[in-house]
Amino acid sequence: MPRKKSYIEEEVIEKAMHTFWKNGYEATSVRMLEKEMGINQFSIYASFDDKEGVFLESIKYYKRKLRKELLDDLSISGKGIDSIKKYFYDFLKFIKEDNAYKGCLLTNTINELKPEVQSIIKSQIAEFAKKIRNTFVKILATDTNKDMQMVEKQANYLIVALQGLSIASKMLGKKQLDDFIEETFVHL
């Protein structure tokens, strides 16, 4: 008979997510996860198989959180390009903790992963970036002055700009980041 879990899975995954976000995938050990999640190694392996399993659940949690706090509002907004610009500003708030920007967990992970790391992690991250890009396409396409080729180019530009914003947030100040966002949208 399997043991009953003495923890709430969503709570320990949120703690794991913050641990990966702070330290990165490669630098996070199972011992660190054990300490931060507040569960023992046996429970980690029994519930998630291994560190990668915990990380994949952390990514799922992060994507749900980002979707709930930012992407859902963007998807239903009827404000065109202004809603995407607002998303960029809201994204900066989302990735800030204790007056410091942490960057996006997904972008941070892609930047640090070794080439031999499981492709499932990369595909999970690429799938979510595609979802955001497709949302940009949908919003940009509401502008009847743009043909689909222009919409696609601008969506590509915006997803790359968002990744750049994530990386830049870890080293630049608010004024520089605000200027970057403003300049990103000048010619759209």
pLDDT in tens, the chain (188 residues): 455 667 778 999 999 999 999 999 889 999 999 999 988 888 888 888 899 899 999 999 999 999 898 988 888 877 889 999 999 999 999 998 877 788 899 998 888 877 766 677 888 888 889 999 999 999 999 998 999 999 999 999 999 999 999 999 999 999 999 999 999 999 88
Question: φ, ψ for residue 77 (rounded to 5)?
Answer: -70, 140
Cβ atoms within 10 Å, residue 134: 13
Q: Dihedral of CA 39/56/92/102: which sign?
A: positive
Q: Locate the domains of the chain by residue range.
A: 9-184
CATH superfamily, domain at 9-184: Tetracycline Repressor, domain 2 (1.10.357.10)
